Amino acid sequence: MSFATVTFPIINETYEQPTGLFINNEFVKAKSGKTFKVTSPADESLIAELQQAEAEDVEIAVEAASKAYKSWRFVPPNEKGKLLNKLANLMDEKRDLLAKIESLDNGKALHCAKFDVNVVIEYIRYCAGYCDKIDGRTITTDTEHFTFTKREPLGVCGAITPWNFPLLMFAWKIGPALATGNTIVLKPASATPLSNLFVCSLIKEAGIPAGVVNVIPGSGRGCGNAILQHPKIKKVAFTGSTGVGKTVMKECAESIKKVTLELGGKSPNMVFKDCNVEQTIKNLITGIFFNGGEVCCAGSRIYIEATDEEWYNNFLAQFKKAVEDLKVGNPFEEGVFQGAQSTPDQFETVLEYIQAGKESNLKLLTGGERIGDKGYFVQPTIFYDVPQNSKLTQEEIFGPVAVVLPFKSTEELIEKANDSLFGLAAGIHTEDFNKAIYVSERVEAGSVWINTYNDFHPSAPFGGYKESGIGREMGLEAFDNYTQTKLVRARINKPIL
């Protein structure tokens, strides 16, 4: 299968990009012969033309995964761990290149991509270390039986991942799937498949057997639906919007698949007057402007204590200055904090929300405009003194747009923070640890960060409450998503003496 020579802008380095579907450890053409174009969010130029998977290709990938499962499930756990460790080591050797591919394809600033790649490598290593720890338990029931459980793999798993964190979501799916003895068919977002396909060449180099990992970029309708509906796929992991997640759940119900969903969010980031102001402003910026705001757990609802009007206004002024100091531009430019929005559709959606805020006479603290006339760049934007019932408060924007809402009491804050369909994450900023714990116990969110934000670790589970999803990524909890429990109960006959 052919490769495309791709050049990174500004730094003028090149690399060889796989352009085929990765099935059975080979890059192959789509059966239909269809292709699609991948373009740069930074300058809208063509990066590469890739093979486009359809339902027929899903069938071939599933058959490859089914065949591989018969042997992969019985590979000794320590051997699985060695293979995953080798993959992590190969990725570590290519970490700079992987970050550049991610920035080029997704539009994110290079520092964001480097953060992603580091988490990816550490998570694959974490999964490698867990391969030989998928244990059952013995159960004491009486003296006449020996009873125990085993945690066994599910079989072929399907995964559908989004465009905002292509490589991170890839790792969060394949790591626990392979560690627990499953095989996988993964459809990356059509907008951002390049890093996934490049890592596939490392999967083969690591010695992971053919058919264990299959990566097939394609449309949601032609490729994604075929994954959801395939009877041989026993589990689906989906990361994306809540609306699409509901459809995924309905489709999987037809064949009773196990489903995990990591969906949308509108996370509250809560600032008390007794916080460390300098550190808190850094945390707020990370919470909403990291990755261009294209983060499901983005702290886009910022609640700031307003019991002291002077303090409140001073905090807003310092926040405004810090945000206006952020550099927005091509991911490969020196010092860029925020790159481009990943897709033209999302770019337009963000601008529409900003326009809606202006038309409803919301107070604009900073930003609110497109940058340039080429590429998908948006100014970091903050509206302040925004009503709780505002569209911009209630709906996920998925871009560099935050709303600030004042609060006077802790109970008022908790009520407003929980006034959302979502429950993915929350941030609390205060020097009073008792207050932080009190609020953390009452906020409805799957992850609560205190005096930090977007602070991930491979051993820390991540997932949502309410309409933000089902199941957890990372941590020990992730492995539960990819296993099923078998009970073995044997009657013990009394020995003849």
When the pLDDT of each residue in the chain is averaged and rounded to a whole number, the result is: 97
- Across 343-352, average pLDDT: 98
Confidence of residue 496 (pLDDT cuts 50, 70, 90): confident
Summarised one tens digit per residue, pLDDT across range 426-461 is 999 999 999 999 999 999 999 999 999 999 999 999
Q: C-alpha angle with apex 103: 97 to 107, nearest 5 degrees?
A: 165
* 363-366 sheet: strands from edge to edge: 363-366, 381-384, 401-407, 301-305, 268-271, 425-429, 447-450
- Across 379-397, average pLDDT: 98
Summarised one tens digit per residue, pLDDT across range 97-125 is 999 999 999 999 999 999 999 999 999 99
Confidence of residue 373 (pLDDT cuts 50, 70, 90): very high
Summarised one tens digit per residue, pLDDT across range 298-345 is 999 999 999 999 999 999 999 999 999 999 999 999 999 999 999 999
Specify the pLDDT at position 1.
57
* Cβ-count burial 439-465 (b if 16+ within 10 Å, e if not): beeebbbbbbbbbebbebebeebbbbb
Confidence of residue 404 (pLDDT cuts 50, 70, 90): very high
Topology annotation, domain 3-263:
Aldehyde Dehydrogenase; Chain A, domain 1 (3.40.605)
- pTM confidence score: 0.96
Q: Is the pLDDT of residue 170 over 70?
A: yes
DSSP for 50-103? EE-B-HHHHHHHHHHHHHHHHHHTTS-HHHHHHHHHHHHHHHHHTHHHHHHHHH
Cα 306 from Cα 405, distance rounded (Å): 9
Residue ranges covered by each domain of the chain: 3-263, 268-465
Specify the pLDDT at position 2.
78
- Across 385-396, average pLDDT: 98
CA-based Rg of the chain, rounded to a whole angstrom?
24
Summarised one tens digit per residue, pLDDT across range 189-232 is 999 999 999 999 999 999 999 999 999 999 988 999 999 999 99
Question: Of 175, 164, 210, 219, nearest to 50 (Cα)?
Answer: 219
Q: Pick the catalytic residue from 54, 262, 305, 467.
A: 262
Strand partners, 5: 16
Specify the pLDDT at position 494.
83
Specify the pLDDT at position 244.
96
Specify the pLDDT at position 37.
97
Measured CA to CA in angstroms, residue 127 lies from 76, 83, 196 at distances of: 15, 11, 18
Question: Is residue 262 annotated as part of the catalytic site, yes or no?
Answer: yes
CATH code at 268-465: 3.40.309.10
Confidence of residue 346 (pLDDT cuts 50, 70, 90): very high
- Across 125-137, average pLDDT: 97
Give the other-Cβ count within 10 Å of 180's Cβ.
Answer: 26
Question: Of 238, 247, 135, 204, nearest to 485 (Cα)?
Answer: 135
Give the other-Cβ count within 10 Å of 278's Cβ.
Answer: 10
- Across 235-246, average pLDDT: 97
Specify the pLDDT at position 47.
98
